[in-house]
Structure 1
Amino acid sequence: MKIYRLLTEDDTSKFCHKVTEALSKGWELYGNPTYAFDASNGVMRCGQAVTKEVDAEYSPDMKLGAQ
């Protein structure tokens, strides 16, 4: 089964580290990154979708980040 996550973070190196960590754990980039202004916090935010094939049945209780 393929699982999906959307990684988000303020536009800092922390975002790049979050994506790099996911890639090091077998996640693959899915689509283009996003970049938008978060008006409520006054910062730019980044997003990147990632997917991963896992040997598991889907459950809404899955902890996707732990896969």
Structure 2
Amino acid sequence: MKIYRFLTGDDTSAFCHKVTEALSKGWDLYGEPSYAYDSANGVMRCGQAVTKEADVAYSADLKLGQL
């Protein structure tokens, strides 16, 4: 089964580390990153979709970050 996650965070090195960690655990980038200005907090936010093949049955209770 192909698993999908959308990683989000402030546009900082911490977000880059989050994506790098996912890649090191076998996740693949899916599509282009997205950026948006959060005017309420005055920061740029970014997101990146990632996918991974996993040999599990789907359940809404899956902890995607632990696969």
Please classify the TM superposition score into its range, dividing by the shorter chain length: over 0.9
**Aligned-partner Cα distance in 2 for 1:59–1:43:** 34
Partner of 2:60: 60
Offset, 1:41: 1.2
Map of 1:6-21 to 2, 5 A cutoff? 6-21=6-21
User: What secondary structure does 2:56 align onto?
Assistant: coil
Normalization by structure 1: what TM-score? 0.97
One-letter code aligned to 1:48: Q
Question: % of aligned pairs identical?
Answer: 76
Aligned length: 67
In the TM superposition, residue 40 of structure 1 has moved relative to its aligned partner by: 1.7
Q: Which 4+ residue blocks in structure 1 deviate beyond 6 angstroms? A: none
Instruction: State the 1:55 CA deviation.
Output: 0.2
CA distance in 2, matches of 1:52, 1:38: 29
Q: Which runs of 5+ in 2 are unaligned?
A: none
RMSD of aligned residue pairs (Cα, Å): 0.5
CA distance in 2, matches of 1:58, 1:20: 25
Q: TM-score, normalised by structure 2?
A: 0.97
